[in-house]
């Protein structure tokens, strides 16, 4: 995994040595040495140095958080920034053995909590999450330093009820190199809980809050720089079910959990080895990878049967792109736009594609009528080339009254018969 980075370091060091030797040789060469002794040459050299220095100053760039509110700036600018930049790559390689190597970073899309979880005996619902920085594959042979909740992307789906009191404890794993926290869009209060959950590596903090509004909400890390933490994979979904039983979801055969995310890496899409984070690409909104559940999926993510009614909870971890969520060959029977549920919330019917905003969500329901493999996509279809696709595999008997091909020979004979009848 580190081979390509080692090769880049070796090439850089060798190049620097060659330049140093070349300059030394030229300075020792008699003709060159006599030339630079002349005052004109010294003047030109000084002017050249002035031009280089002024050019560097004129093109000075700033970290991605320079335009953000002051209270959101990083308080540790001298430490490793939120990336693996080349100027700190040695530091990263020294610490590389701290990171757990995760075989499959992708959250299991089948793990949707049931709507029957009970509070503890004191009436409080308790949740515990761990932030952890790990290394895993975006695609075969392409590794990334993911920042996670519970070692997966997205983090586990959480499910509570409107009106419940929640205690959420957040632990930052001792192996992390960065501070982390959690902002739950379901929380009413400053930072959605982020202001009270700033945890150092090895630290745990707990917040208590009351779920006031039903709906499907994103949660994510909100440490400065927020967009950098999110684009390392730190997000998930929390569902707040309505307290009124009349407003709860109808029973379905299967429920699934999918979240779209963006990853910004140095180099071209498909570059092998450990790929460092690219903050310039982040600011330009040009991710190398756009994926469902943390990685490019080369096996079916969802499984169901003909006749099943399914519900998919969809999130968009962002940080730049609006997802145009679509299943090729299916129509959503119901859509809960922007994850809104409960009294007076809109429900759309017979929808082909639904928008899922960055930091937003949606819920879709559909009945599966025909067997086969269905592509789930962001219908900004160029993103399929960056990994924005997954497979829903539906098994069962053919339904030729709904979908079938025609035999070309039989079709031709039928057309001839019709033509003769018309004559």
Q: Name the superfamily (CATH) of residues 86-247.
A: Cupredoxins -  blue copper proteins (2.60.40.420)
Architecture of domain 254-395: Sandwich (2.60)
pLDDT of residue 74: 39
Beta partners for 254?
310
- For 354, other C-beta atoms within 10 Å of its C-beta total 20
Tell me how long the chain is: 423
Cβ contacts of 260 within 8 Å, gap of 6 or more: 290, 291, 292, 314, 315, 316, 317, 321, 323, 325, 356, 378, 388
Backbone dihedral region for residue 222 (phi beyond 0: left; psi -120 to 50: alpha; all else: beta): alpha
Domain map (residue ranges) of the chain: 3-60, 86-247, 254-395
pLDDT in tens, 194-235: 999 999 999 999 999 999 999 999 999 999 889 999 999 999
- For 294, other C-beta atoms within 10 Å of its C-beta total 27
Helix and strand totals (H; E) in the chain: 7, 21
DSSP state, 252? -
Lowest mean pLDDT among 55-59, 223-227, 404-408: 55-59
pLDDT in tens, 154-203: 999 999 999 999 999 999 999 998 999 999 999 999 999 999 999 999 99
Sheet of 215-220: strand order equals 158-161, 235-241, 215-220, 183-184
pLDDT in tens, 322-364: 999 999 999 999 999 999 998 899 999 999 999 999 999 999 9
* Burial of 325 per CB tally in 10 Å (0-12, 13-18, 19+): buried
Report helix, strand or coil for 123: coil
Residue 29 in this model has a pLDDT that exceeds 50: yes
67 against 261, higher pLDDT: 261
pLDDT in tens, 373-385: 999 999 999 999 9
CB-CB contact of 155 with 148 (8 Å):
yes
Element (H, E) at 335: strand 332-336
Element (H, E) at 25: helix 3-28
pLDDT in tens, 250-305: 999 999 999 999 999 988 899 888 888 998 899 999 999 999 999 998 888 899 99
Q: What is the β-pairing status of strands 142-149 and 302-305?
A: unpaired
The token pair that represents 98 in the structure block? 């701290």
pLDDT of residue 66: 45
pLDDT of residue 304: 98
The token pair that represents 253 in the structure block? 């055969």
pTM of the entire predicted model: 0.82
pLDDT of residue 77: 34
């Amino acid at each position: 995994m580190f081979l390509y980075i080692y090769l880049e370091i070796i090439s850089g060091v060798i190049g620097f040595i060659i330049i140093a030797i070349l300059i030394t040789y030229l300075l020792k060469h008699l003709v060159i040495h006599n030339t630079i002794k002349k005052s004109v040459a010294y003047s030109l050299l000084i002017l050249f140095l002035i031009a280089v220095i002024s050019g560097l100053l004129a093109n000075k760039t700033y970290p991605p958080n320079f335009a953000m509110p002051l209270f959101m700036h990083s308080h540790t600018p001298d430490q490793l920034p939120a990336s693996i930049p080349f100027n700190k790559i040695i530091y990263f390689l020294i610490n590389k053995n701290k990171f757990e190597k995760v075989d499959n970073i992708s959250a299991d899309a089948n793990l949707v909590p049931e709507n029957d979880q009970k509070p503890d005996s004191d009436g409080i619902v308790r949740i515990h999450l761990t932030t952890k920085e790990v290394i895993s594959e975006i695609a075969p042979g392409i590794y990334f330093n993911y920042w996670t909740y519970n070692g997966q992307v997205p983090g586990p789906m959480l499910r509570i009820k409107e009106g419940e009191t929640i205690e959420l404890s957040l632990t930052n794993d001792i192996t992390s190199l960065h501070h982390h926290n959690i902002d739950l869009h379901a929380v009413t209060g400053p930072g959605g809980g982020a202001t009270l959950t700033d945890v150092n590596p090895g630290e745990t903090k707990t917040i208590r809050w009351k779920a006031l509004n039903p709906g499907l909400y994103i949660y994510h890390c909100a440490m400065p720089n927020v967009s950098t933490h999110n684009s390392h994979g730190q997000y998930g979904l929390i569902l707040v079910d309505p307290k009124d039983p009349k407003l709860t979801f109808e029973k379905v055969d299967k429920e699934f959990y999918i979240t779209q995310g963006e990853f910004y890496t140095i180099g071209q899409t498909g570059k092998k080895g450990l790929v460092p984070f690219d903050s310039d690409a982040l600011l330009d909104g040009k991710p190398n990878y756009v994926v469902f559940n943390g990685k490019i999926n080369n096996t079916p993510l969802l499984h169901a049967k003909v006749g099943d009614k399914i519900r998919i909870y969809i999130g968009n971890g962002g940080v730049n792109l609006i997802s145009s969520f679509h299943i090729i060959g299916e129509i959503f029977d119901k859509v809960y736009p922007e994850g809104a549920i409960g009294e007076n919330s809109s429900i759309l019917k017979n929808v082909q594609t639904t928008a899922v905003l960055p930091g937003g969500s949606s819920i879709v329901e559909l009945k599966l009528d025909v067997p086969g493999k269905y592509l789930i996509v962001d219908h900004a279809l160029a993103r399929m080339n960056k990994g924005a696709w997954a497979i829903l595999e539906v098994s069962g008997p053919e339904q030729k009254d709904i979908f079938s091909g025609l035999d070309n020979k039989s079709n031709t004979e039928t057309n001839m018969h019709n033509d003769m009848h018309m004559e």
